[in-house]
Amino acid sequence: MKYKLVYLLAALISFAACEKRDAIRNGTVDTEIVSPADKASIAKTDEVEVEVKFLSEKNLVETAFVKVNVFTAGKEVIENLESLPIEVGELIVDFNKTSINQSEYVFKQTVDISTYPKGTCFTIFTGATSSTKHIVGTENNGSYFCIE
């Protein structure tokens, strides 16, 4: 009888740990890079709007970040990479906000990239954290755009 209780307790702990791990892996907050669109070619470079939505269905978005880096190797190189490089060049947007405490948060910033030559690409990385009483969820997203 004693061993059955120990096995039952171990099974319950294991089940709860898996549920929490899956919730963290799946994220409880979504990040959507609204603009520029992924793999976009930008012609008007003096006013490029970077817009990212952070959404959390049931939980509060606690922290959010947006980073836009210059990637000077060009579109041909970035298209053939297995994953986007993180922090490869000059950082032109570095946004980090904590204590948002909303289920939805929208980041918008207009940037001037007209000083960069044609063919220059930029990576966008976003991330957010939200939590409930028992589970913390994270979500990351990335894309790129280039000057045509």
pTM of the predicted model as reported, rounded to 2 decimal places: 0.73
How many of the other CB atoms lie within 10 Å of CB of 122?
Answer: 28
pLDDT digits (tens, 9 = 90+) for 66-75: 888 887 777 7
Instruction: Please calculate the CA angle 76-42-37 and round it to the nearest 5 degrees.
Output: 85
pLDDT digits (tens, 9 = 90+) for 29-66: 788 899 999 999 999 999 999 999 988 876 677 788 88
pLDDT digits (tens, 9 = 90+) for 83-141: 776 666 788 898 888 888 888 889 999 999 999 999 898 888 888 887 665 556 677 78
Q: How confident is the model at residue 2 (pLDDT cuts 50, 70, 90)?
A: low
Instruction: Please calculate the CA angle 50-146-70 and round it to the nearest 5 degrees.
Output: 75
Q: CB neighbours of 78 closer than 8 A, spacing ≥ 6?
A: 71, 84, 121, 123, 144, 146
Q: What is the pLDDT of residue 6?
A: 39
pLDDT exceeds cutoff 50 at 15: no
Instruction: Please calculate the CA angle 82-85-87 and round it to the nearest 5 degrees.
Output: 170
Q: How far is CA 129 from the centre of its chain?
A: 10
